[in-house]
Amino acid sequence: MNYEEIYGLESKYTSGGVGRRPVALVKAQGARLWDSEGNVYIDCAGAQGWANVGHSHPVVTQAIKAQLDTYVAGQESSYNDQRALWMRDLAEVMQTSLGWDSCYIHPSNSGTEAIEAALKFARYQTGRPNIVATMRGFHGRTMGSLSATWNKKYREPFEPLVPGFNHVPYDNIEAMTEAIDDTTAAVLVEIVQGEGGVFPGSGDYFAALRQLCSERGALLIVDEIQTGVGRTGRWLACEHHALAPDVVSLGKSIGGGLPMGVTVWRSELGQFQSGLHGSTFGGNPLVCAASRAVIEVMAEEQLPQRAEQLGAWTRDALEALPARRIREVRGLGLMIGIELRTKVTPVLQKLMERGVWALPAGLNVLRLLPPLVIDQSDLEQVVKVIDEVLS
């Protein structure tokens, strides 16, 4: 099918909730995208951040193909070999990254569901009603996750939202000190605010926040949906600050391209009472097999280390550009935000015309989330194109 045929069909039936670029992508491999007209793009969006191991990684696709012939979908009401092995593998990674002795794992189907489970568990475990989140934070689009998200653009069309949520300035421990009290079930934060503009928090902030939550009996929930699975140069962004939260939410890349969310908490907090929370497709054998392959690829190809090295090179190269329209370059690993002195949408359009697929993060921030398997030569081309467009 050509672009006009694809556009005509999809436009006829789409709900309209998601904005689209005037391109039909039909193929992806590694860090490359192809459209219906044969144009090729360097993927610096990572399919909205889920393609950390690249598109159609052979280890992941082989695991999916093998499981397809065995058992695809089965709910957690029975035990399963793939789920058991996946839980073991993921627990080893999480415990090593966070210094936990052991943990419990709740699988779901998306990042926003992983946040919903974290919020429900916090209220269940503490018996408290309120959640403190941060300004510029983004945690998802379902009603609980949306209530924790700050941007009015996402919130206002669906109000009234879930009660009990409060937003305070990010990276401001004084504001957190005033906000957390004996009614606070949890504090929800990102280590790097992705949708909010790629703003990393400081180590002092997270250390003080960890102590504050412990003193006041509130759980510390870290949203690692975009920052996790090697994106920032560590398996979890928490590791940059030796931070051990109580609960971590994962999504995007953890499923290797299949829909998956995961909520993990230290085992000292206990479990849900049976029947209180679940998911029809959460933890199905197919996605567990894919996620096991992701964990294997991350270790075998040392992708967190690769993200750290390539991310440092890319940020240095961008900071060296003479373009007068760049206000600041920031980020961790291969999670990079370029704050412009102009609106980002025209820049994204020009980049796409030159074969680079990137993302916005607000009105004036260009965001790069390339697959961690990307070649440095591709990043060199990306920096060159950004320089041309901004100059």
With CA atoms as reference, report the closest residue to 49 among 294, 297, 252. Answer: 252
The pLDDT score that the predictor gives to residue 76 is 83
pLDDT of residue 258 exceeding 90: yes
Can you read off the two tokens belonging to residue 230? Answer: 């090697």
Query: SS3 for 202?
Result: coil
Backbone angles phi, psi at 65, to 5 degrees: -60, -40
- Rounded mean pLDDT of 122-140? 98
At 288, the pLDDT band (50, 70, 90 cuts) reads very high
* Nearest-angstrom CA–CA distance, 337 and 199: 8
At 19, the pLDDT band (50, 70, 90 cuts) reads confident
The Cβ of residue 125 has, within 10 Å, a number of other Cβ atoms equal to 18
Can you read off the two tokens belonging to residue 10? Answer: 């999809």
At 75, the pLDDT band (50, 70, 90 cuts) reads confident
In eight-state DSSP terms, residue 55 is B
Whether residue 163 has a cis bond before it, omega within 30° of 0: no
- Rounded mean pLDDT of 38-65? 96
pLDDT of residue 323 exceeding 90: no
Can you read off the two tokens belonging to residue 164? Answer: 């009990």
Q: What angle do CA 357, 353, 259 make, to 5 degrees?
A: 25
Strands 184-190 and 219-223 come out as parallel
SS3 annotation, 293-310 = HHHHHHHHCCHHHHHHHH
- Rounded mean pLDDT of 153-166? 96
% the chain with pLDDT above 70: 100
What's the whole-model pTM score? 0.97
- Rounded mean pLDDT of 311-337? 95
Can you read off the two tokens belonging to residue 220? Answer: 């510390």
Domain boundaries, the chain: 61-267+278-300
Mean pLDDT of all residues belonging to the chain:
96
pLDDT tens digits, one per residue of 91-121: 999 999 999 999 999 999 999 999 999 999 9
The pLDDT score that the predictor gives to residue 142 is 97
The pLDDT score that the predictor gives to residue 259 is 97
Q: What angle do CA 130, 112, 221 make, to 5 degrees?
A: 45
* Residue partners of 202: CB distance under 8 A and separation at least 6: 171
Can you read off the two tokens belonging to residue 90? Answer: 């993921």
* Nearest-angstrom CA–CA distance, 29 and 56: 6
Evaluated on CA atoms 242, 47, 346, 11, the torsion sign reads negative
At 388, the pLDDT band (50, 70, 90 cuts) reads very high
The pLDDT score that the predictor gives to residue 77 is 84
The pLDDT score that the predictor gives to residue 47 is 85
The pLDDT score that the predictor gives to residue 165 is 98
Q: Topology of 61-267+278-300 in CATH? A: Aspartate Aminotransferase; domain 2 (3.40.640)
pLDDT tens digits, one per residue of 88-97: 999 999 999 9
* Nearest-angstrom CA–CA distance, 82 and 346: 45
At 322, the pLDDT band (50, 70, 90 cuts) reads confident
pLDDT of residue 325 exceeding 90: no
Q: Please report, for residues 154, 189, 229, 361, the alpha-carbon distance to residue 163 in angstroms, rounded to integers and kept in the order given.
A: 16, 18, 32, 27
Helix locations, the chain, DSSP H: 3-13, 46-49, 58-68, 81-98, 111-126, 143-148, 152-155, 173-179, 203-216, 285-300, 303-319, 345-353, 376-390
- Rounded mean pLDDT of 63-86? 94
At 222, the pLDDT band (50, 70, 90 cuts) reads very high
